[in-house]
């Protein structure tokens, strides 16, 4: 690798497992992967994780530690013809040194079924050790025969501290990094690069490099990188705010209240204000899930599913593709019928439990697996609902001290109107 011309992200690629950050669960001394390298019993593996989390780096380190021949190609740019050429080369290497070839396939999920089938005989024979990298769930994207012959290892998204380690190394390293340029990062600029890189180490290093070369040295030969320099180098306007301070809570409050007020335009505005400022998308996703239950509830049961799906899209796909899934969820939640009946019911139930304590379960609702329990009256008098007209039996389900209590009061909006109707019908049966 030419350290004078290679991009910073390439130069700073970890040279040992100890330099890899954020993935101790699969690279620790006691991990299956490290032990397989120590014993020489390599196995095929699929690395599933977000962009820039270290999938390619770990694959190259495996080849380095095992001293096996390494081949790499992308499923976007290559096909079965290129695979045949690699297999032919692997056979020649195997005749020479009796070692398998490590074949790294980036974005392996982009191969269709027939292309994935082409790996099978060579994985089974041990000619190649397949290492696939994917941002997609292998359960859905990889054919079962190939999935059964590999181990799936999930890489964690890089956290703030992980990204901080990577950036500090790049700034301080004089051989591979930017120390020779005299680069210094202001604290706000440091945080800003991490926030706009969304856990992608490659993106963070690219952003740092662009800003470093944009800044001109001062009188002391230092290149001081500021937020303004980063925004100009990357041609984007910074929208910084303290994610632990007041503005953080102001913006999420504005989003929540705009959705509650059924205004999709304002909801989208506050969503993108947070995303552009570097807010953690998964934090927003968690708040959408809460909103779906607290402010919509059973008025539209599908709302929770939409919110959950938007959260999962960030876990499985990440930026930039998944940004629109959050927008889709926000618009859906903003325009859905609203009800806080479940939220009110929760508070009412908790208050009742606090005031009356742990009331005993009525005898007829208790299970009676033993003779003694039956003699004590457990389950006696219980009415099996399916044996009654319309599947409803007149029967008390609350503790005796709470028989007149009601906690959940559905309104007349959305699906809760239907729930209210069903509850009314049940009461009519009980009163008849």
Contact 298, 419 (CB under 8 A): yes
How distant, in Å, are the alpha carbons of 95, 122, 154, 219 from that of 101?
11, 10, 23, 53
Q: What is the pLDDT of residue 241?
A: 47
Residue with tokens 């490590």: 102
* For the chain, domain boundaries: 23-154, 160-234, 246-335, 354-431
**Phi and psi (nearest 5°) for 34?**
-65, -40
β-bridge partners, 129: 102
Is residue 149 exposed (0-12), middle (13-18) or buried (19+ Cβ within 10 Å)? middle
β-bridge partners, 219: none
Q: What is the pLDDT of residue 291?
A: 95
The C-alpha torsion from 394 through 397 and 399 to 404, rounded to 10°, is -60
Q: What is the pLDDT of residue 188?
A: 85
State which fold the 160-234 domain adopts.
Helicase, Ruva Protein; domain 3 (1.10.8)
Residue with tokens 């290149």: 223
Q: What is the pLDDT along the chain (432 residues), one digit of tens a residue?
A: 555 678 999 999 999 989 999 999 998 888 888 888 888 888 899 999 888 889 999 998 988 888 788 888 877 676 677 878 888 888 888 888 888 888 898 888 888 888 888 888 888 888 888 999 988 888 888 889 888 889 999 998 888 899 999 999 999 998 899 988 888 888 888 888 888 887 889 999 999 999 899 988 888 888 988 888 888 888 766 555 455 555 677 888 899 999 999 999 999 999 988 887 777 888 899 999 999 999 999 999 999 999 999 998 888 777 777 889 999 999 999 999 999 999 999 998 898 888 888 888 888 888 888 888 888 888 898 888 888 887 878 888 888 888 778 888 888 888 888 888 888 877 776 666
CB burial of 196-218 (b: ≥16 within 10 Å; e: otherwise) equals bbbbbbbbbbbbbbbbbeebeee
Q: What is the pLDDT of residue 308?
A: 94
Is residue 382 exposed (0-12), middle (13-18) or buried (19+ Cβ within 10 Å)? middle
Tokens (6 digits) for 262: 């059924």
State which fold the 354-431 domain adopts.
post-AAA+ oligomerization domain-like (1.10.3710)
State which fold the 246-335 domain adopts.
Zinc Finger, Delta Prime; domain 3 (1.20.272)
Contact 26, 43 (CB under 8 A): no
Closest C-alpha among 189, 197, 185, 186 to residue 159? 197
**Phi and psi (nearest 5°) for 347?**
-65, -40
Q: What is the pLDDT of residue 304?
A: 95
H/E segment holding residue 92: helix 80-97
Closest C-alpha among 152, 90, 79 to residue 121? 90
Write out the CATH class of domain 23-154.
alpha beta
Q: What is the pLDDT of residue 243?
A: 52
């Amino acid at each position: 690798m030419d350290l004078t011309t290679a991009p910073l992200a390439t130069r700073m690629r970890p040279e040992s497992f100890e330099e890899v950050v954020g993935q101790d669960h699969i690279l620790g001394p006691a991990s299956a992967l490290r032990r397989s390298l120590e014993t020489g019993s390599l196995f095929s593996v699929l690395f599933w994780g977000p962009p820039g989390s270290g999938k390619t780096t770990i694959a190259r380190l495996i080849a380095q530690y095992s001293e096996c021949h390494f081949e790499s190609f992308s499923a976007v740019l290559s096909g079965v013809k290129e695979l045949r050429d690699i297999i032919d080369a692997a056979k020649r290497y195997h005749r020479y040194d009796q070692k398998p070839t490590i074949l790294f396939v980036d974005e392996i999920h982009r191969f269709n079924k027939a292309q994935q089938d082409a790996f099978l005989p060579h994985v089974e024979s041990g000619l190649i050790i397949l290492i696939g990298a994917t941002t997609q769930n292998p359960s859905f994207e990889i054919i079962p025969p190939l999935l059964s012959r590999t181990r799936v290892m999930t890489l964690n998204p890089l956290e703030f501290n992980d990204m901080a380690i990577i950036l500090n190394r790049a700034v301080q390293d004089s051989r591979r990094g930017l120390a020779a340029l005299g680069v210094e990062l202001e604290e706000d600029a440091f945080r800003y690069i991490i926030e706009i890189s969304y856990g992608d180490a490659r993106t963070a290093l690219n952003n740092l490099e662009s800003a470093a070369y944009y800044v001109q040295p001062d009188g002391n030969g230092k290149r001081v990188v500021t937020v303004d320099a980063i925004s100009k180098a990357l041609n984007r306007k910074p929208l910084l705010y303290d994610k632990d301070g007041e503005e953080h809570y102001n913006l999420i409050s504005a989003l929540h209240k705009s959705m509650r007020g059924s205004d999709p335009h304002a909801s989208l505005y506050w969503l993108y204000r947070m995303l552009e400022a570097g807010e953690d998308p998964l934090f927003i996703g968690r708040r959408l899930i809460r909103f779906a239950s607290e402010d919509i509830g059973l008025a539209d049961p599908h709302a929770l599913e939409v919110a959950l799906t938007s959260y999962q899209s960030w876990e499985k796909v990440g930026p930039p593709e998944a940004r629109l899934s959050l927008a889709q969820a926000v618009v859906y939640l903003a325009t859905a019928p609203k009800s806080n009946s479940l939220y009110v019911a929760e508070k009412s139930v908790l208050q009742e439990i606090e005031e009356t304590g742990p009331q005993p379960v009525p005898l007829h609702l208790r299970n009676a697996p033993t003779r003694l329990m039956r003699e004590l009256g457990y389950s006696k008098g219980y009415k099996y609902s399916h044996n009654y007209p319309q599947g409803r039996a007149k029967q008390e389900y609350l503790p005796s001290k709470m028989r007149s209590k009601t906690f959940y009061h559905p309104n007349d909006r959305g699906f809760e109107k239907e729930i209210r109707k069903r509850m009314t019908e049940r009461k009519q049966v009980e009163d008849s």
